[in-house]
């Protein structure tokens, strides 16, 4: 028992010093070799990020100088945004696949999605075995809520008409129809105006003919039901005529729809530009608010549709002669004509009067690049066309917590110096795994000039995608994996394709004391058994050697005695016959005494070596000196 206790006491520090801690070592994927033929150790895993492929169509949809639904028209570009998201590799980390830790039985398993992003990690240390379960998650395709619009130029104020006779009405109205005094601004070319009007008519025709086709379809369905129920007979002449008329209406509406669609397609090609954007390009751009800028080719095409000019507007010559009511003028039979002599229809005059600029009315709300002497075609176009994208998440709605008070919904911001913060962007090894929990949010597209500090307002969007999980917007988390000596741990991390943590475990099936005791006791028993076997073999070898030596010494003594006997018999008699015998006996006695001394010591060593007497072992030490 003392022997075993001593072995454990000596073995424990030795095994502890050899074992060390098993751990995974993680570093950011921030290194590469100069040559393509050189390699670096380790395995990489990438966390996902949401990436959009956006298609933006910009279309000239309205020109200044007219009126729609009683409001002045303005330069307007409609925006249609389409696209879909997918999850691609974002930030990457490198794992040291050696699983550092001497005398450790360890395993490492990584599983990936088809996109290359991490699906699961399984790490086991000591004799634990684990199973990495693959989990997949599909994200429904995002829908789009599209809207369009542009800043409105302040509507002009209509003048009042003074009560007077018909001649006065005519005179004053002619005086009002003058060249505009509106500021220089971006307007459509004559060709663009005609194309926009044609597009509007084709679009309206498409809607009207579609309604006619629906009506014809309903009539045909009603007639079919009546014939089925025998309310009407298909052989009746009137029924046949009705049937033929409905079919003719369907054919006519279908032809008109095809014509309108063809015309719209042609005009869209003339009035529109389409661009494709990818956001984010990589993880460095993953948390940005991208500027969806109009490229040079698109700008060049749209530049041909506009020019710097003054839109057709009316301006009263004098405030004193401002007419009291446009309705009074329109009620008269005498209708004024334009300076070129062309007769003005009442409807056209109503539009023109509604566009009269008030001397005290507000100026159009446009930047300097779109008005007056500083107007610039390209800059003004970019003002109307450039868009901004913003991934908005729930954290953006929260406010940082104050040191003194923490209202509900506030966010605690941890500083880099906080001991709880694990830095992932240095080149030091981190003993664990990094993951990033995604944040749910929406991608919003707005006009760049409406963005506040480069961020779209949720209420000012022109396109809003369905909510999804944005891994790149979430908080980076560190899951430590370090296994001390004599412990067995197993860690598993399972991620959905959008980065959501679906399952995580870190477990040990043995308590630290239990594992330590079992490990040391097992090792001590093995060493004790080996020592006992070695001692038995040593004793057997010693007994054999001692027996051999004793036999050799006894043989030498017998040989000496026999030689003396032979010598005595062969020696001639002398005056003192005992003298030679006494001399030889004296010499041999010394030699025999020495041999007997060796023999007795061997016998004593043998006797002492087989016992546990401490005194005998001490005597043996003295005899061997």
pTM for this entry: 0.60
What domain range is 182 assigned to? 166-272+297-378
The token duo for 192 is 């663009």
Identify whether residues 497 and 391 lie together within a single domain. yes
Is residue 193 included in any domain, yes or no?
yes
The whole-number pLDDT of residue 613 equals: 55
**Residue partners of 267: CB distance under 8 A and separation at least 6:** 195, 198, 199, 202
Reported as a single tens digit per residue, the pLDDT across 478-515 is 988 887 766 777 888 999 999 999 998 888 756 555 55
Higher per-residue confidence, 210 vs 420: 210
d(CA 443, CA 170): 57
Percent above pLDDT 90 for the chain: 20
- Quick one: which of 379, 378, 294, 383 has its CA closest to 58? 294
Higher per-residue confidence, 115 vs 573: 115
Instruction: Report the chain's C-alpha Rg in angstroms.
Output: 52
Identify whether residues 222 and 321 lie together within a single domain. yes
Average pLDDT for residues 124-130, to the nearest whole number?
45
Identify whether residues 431 and 540 lie together within a single domain. no
Backbone angles phi, psi at 471, to 5 degrees: -60, -35
Q: Which residue reads 């940082």 in tokens?
A: 400
Q: Residue 625's pLDDT band (boundaries 50, 70, 90)?
A: low
Identify whether residues 352 and 388 lie together within a single domain. no
The whole-number pLDDT of residue 23 equals: 76
The answer on pLDDT for 535 being more than 70 is: no
Higher per-residue confidence, 565 vs 129: 565
Identify whether residues 112 and 173 lie together within a single domain. no
Reported as a single tens digit per residue, the pLDDT across 129-171 is 222 222 322 222 222 222 333 333 233 333 333 444 444 544 5
The whole-number pLDDT of residue 41 equals: 83
CA distance readout (Å), 434 to 123, 477, 554: 14, 6, 81
Identify whether residues 618 and 586 lie together within a single domain. yes
Highest mean pLDDT among 71-80, 111-120, 418-427: 111-120
Is residue 17 included in any domain, yes or no?
no
Q: Residue 400's pLDDT band (boundaries 50, 70, 90)?
A: confident
Q: Residue 226's pLDDT band (boundaries 50, 70, 90)?
A: confident
Cα 532 to chain centroid distance, Å, stands at 62
> What kind and span of H or E run contains 90?
strand 76-95
**Domain with 220 in it: what CATH number?**
1.10.287
Identify whether residues 217 and 356 lie together within a single domain. yes
The whole-number pLDDT of residue 334 equals: 42
Identify whether residues 246 and 145 lie together within a single domain. no
Is residue 283 included in any domain, yes or no?
no
Is residue 318 included in any domain, yes or no?
yes
Answer for the pair 473, 12: CB distance below 8 angstroms, yes or no. Answer: no
The whole-number pLDDT of residue 291 equals: 92
Answer for the pair 85, 50: CB distance below 8 angstroms, yes or no. Answer: yes
Identify whether residues 408 and 359 lie together within a single domain. no
The answer on pLDDT for 179 being more than 50 is: no
Which range (102-116, 294-308, 321-335, 582-596) has the least confidence?
321-335
Identify whether residues 317 and 400 lie together within a single domain. no
d(CA 467, CA 277): 19
Q: Residue 5's pLDDT band (boundaries 50, 70, 90)?
A: very low
The answer on pLDDT for 475 being more than 70 is: yes
Q: How many domains does the chain have?
A: 3
User: In degrees to the nearest 10, what's the CA dihedral of 201, 202, 204, 209?
Assistant: 130
Task: Look at residue 611 and give its three-state secondary structure.
Answer: coil
Identify whether residues 135 and 175 lie together within a single domain. no
Reported as a single tens digit per residue, the pLDDT across 270-285 is 999 999 999 998 888 8
Is residue 574 included in any domain, yes or no?
yes
Average pLDDT for residues 310-338, to the nearest whole number?
45
Domain boundary among 328, 358, 378: 378
Start-end of H helices in 272-305: 296-303
The answer on pLDDT for 232 being more than 90 is: no
The answer on pLDDT for 586 being more than 60 is: no
Is residue 4 included in any domain, yes or no?
no
Is residue 2 included in any domain, yes or no?
no
Q: What integer best gives the mean pLDDT of the chain?
A: 71
Average pLDDT for residues 71-92, to the nearest whole number?
88
Average pLDDT for residues 318-326, to the nearest whole number?
37
Domain boundary among 332, 353, 378: 378
Is residue 212 included in any domain, yes or no?
yes
The whole-number pLDDT of residue 446 equals: 92
Higher per-residue confidence, 288 vs 172: 288
Reported as a single tens digit per residue, the pLDDT across 17-65 is 444 567 778 888 878 888 889 888 888 889 999 999 999 999 999 888 7
Identify whether residues 315 and 222 lie together within a single domain. yes
Reported as a single tens digit per residue, the pLDDT across 594-605 is 565 565 656 555
């Amino acid at each position: 028992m003392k022997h075993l206790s001593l072995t454990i006491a000596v073995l424990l520090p030795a095994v502890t010093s050899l074992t060390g801690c098993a751990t995974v070592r993680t570093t950011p994927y921030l290194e590469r070799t100069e040559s393509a033929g050189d390699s670096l150790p380790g395995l990489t895993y990438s966390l996902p990020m949401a990436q959009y492929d956006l298609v933006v169509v910009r279309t000239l949809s309205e020109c200044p100088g007219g009126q729609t639904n009683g409001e002045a028209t303005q330069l307007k570009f409609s925006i249609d945004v389409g696209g879909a998201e997918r999850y691609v590799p974002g930030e990457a980390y490198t794992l040291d696949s050696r699983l550092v830790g001497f005398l450790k039985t360890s395993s490492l398993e990584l599983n990936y999605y088809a996109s290359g992003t991490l699906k699961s990690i399984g790490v086991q240390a000591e004799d634990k075995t684990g199973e990495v379960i693959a989990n997949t998650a599909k994200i429904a395709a995002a829908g789009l809520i599209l809207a369009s619009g542009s800043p409105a130029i302040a509507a002009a104020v209509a003048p009042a008409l003074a009560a007077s006779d018909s001649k006065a009405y005519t005179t004053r109205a002619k005086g009002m129809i003058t060249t505009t005094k509106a500021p220089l601004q971006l307007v459509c070319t004559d060709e663009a105006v005609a194309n926009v009007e044609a597009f509007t008519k084709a679009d309206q025709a498409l809607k009207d003919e579609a309604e006619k086709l629906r009506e014809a379809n309903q009539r045909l369905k009603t007639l079919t039901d009546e014939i089925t129920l025998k309310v009407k007979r298909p052989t009746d002449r009137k029924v046949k005529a009705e049937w033929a008329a409905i079919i003719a209406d369907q054919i006519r509406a279908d032809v008109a729809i095809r014509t309108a669609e063809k015309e719209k397609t042609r005009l869209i090609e003339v009035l529109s530009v389409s661009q494709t954007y990818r956001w984010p390009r990589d993880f460095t751009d993953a948390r940005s608010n991208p500027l969806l800028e109009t490229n040079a080719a698109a700008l060049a095409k749209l530049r041909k549709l506009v020019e710097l000019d003054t839109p057709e507007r009316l301006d009263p010559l004098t405030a004193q002669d401002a007419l009291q009511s446009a309705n009074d003028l329109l009620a008269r039979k005498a209708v004024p004509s334009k300076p070129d002599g062309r007769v003005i229809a009442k409807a056209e005059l109503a539009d023109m009067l509604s566009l009269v600029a008030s001397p005290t009315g507000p100026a159009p709300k446009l930047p300097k690049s779109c008005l007056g002497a500083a107007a610039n075609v390209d800059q003004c176009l970019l003002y109307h066309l450039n868009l901004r994208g913003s991934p908005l998440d729930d954290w953006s709605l929260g406010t940082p917590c104050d040191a003194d008070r923490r209202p509900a919904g506030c966010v605690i911001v941890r500083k880099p110096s906080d001991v709880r913060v694990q830095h992932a962007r240095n080149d030091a090894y981190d003993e664990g795994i990094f993951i990033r929990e995604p944040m749910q949010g929406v991608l919003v597209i707005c006009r760049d000039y409406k963005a506040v500090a480069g961020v779209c307002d949720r209420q000012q969007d022109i396109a809003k995608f369905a909510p999804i999980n944005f891994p790149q917007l979430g908080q980076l988390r560190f899951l430590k994996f370090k296994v001390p000596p004599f412990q067995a741990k197993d860690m598993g991390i399972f991620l959905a394709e959008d980065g959501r943590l679906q399952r995580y475990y870190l477990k040990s099936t043995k308590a630290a004391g239990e594992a330590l005791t079992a490990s040391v006791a097992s090792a001590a028993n093995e060493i004790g058994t080996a020592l006992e076997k070695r001692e038995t073999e040593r004793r057997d070898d010693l007994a054999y050697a001692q027996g051999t030596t004793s036999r050799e010494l006894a043989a030498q003594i017998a040989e000496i005695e026999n030689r003396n006997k032979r010598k005595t018999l062969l020696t001639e008699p002398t005056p003192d016959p005992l003298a030679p015998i006494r001399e030889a006996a004296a010499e041999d006695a010394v030699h025999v005494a020495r041999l007997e001394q060796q023999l007795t010591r061997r016998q004593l060593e043998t006797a002492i070596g087989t016992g546990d007497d401490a005194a005998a072992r001490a005597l043996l030490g003295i005899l061997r000196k």
